Amino acid sequence: MQLVAIIPEAEWNRVLGRLDTLEAAEAARTLATTAQPDEILTTDRAAAYIGLSVCALLRARRAGRIQGVRLNERDWGFRKSVLDAYPRRYHRPTMPVATA
């Protein structure tokens, strides 16, 4: 024997709306967990990527302004997402030159 429940159309549409919201949130969560891993660049490639010298990049890492990843006993690597955030955070806009 099957049970049948009759509900008003407005309530049914509200339930379907909540279901759509839950499915969209689940799809977004699944997409976020299956994202590509962050690329790690060597010191030379990272310095060229953000337009700094190797010495300046390593100085910024030692000062704690940029986070590095230890590749081996001598070398450091840098995540591309960290490098992308670095210029926006520490970039100082140039002042326009006043002309007389």
Give domain limits for the chain: 40-90
Query: Which phi-psi region, left, alpha or beta, contains residue 69 (left: φ > 0; alpha: ψ -120 to 50)?
Result: beta
pLDDT of residue 86: 82
pLDDT of residue 23: 93
pLDDT for 89 beyond 80: no
Distance CA 81, CA 87 (A): 11
Instruction: Tell me if the pTM is above 0.75.
Output: no
pLDDT for 100 beyond 60: no
Instruction: List the Cα angle 22/24/29 in 5-degree steps.
Output: 95
Distance CA 66, CA 86 (A): 7
pLDDT of residue 12: 92
Span 14-42, pLDDT tens digits: 999 999 999 999 988 877 666 567 899 99
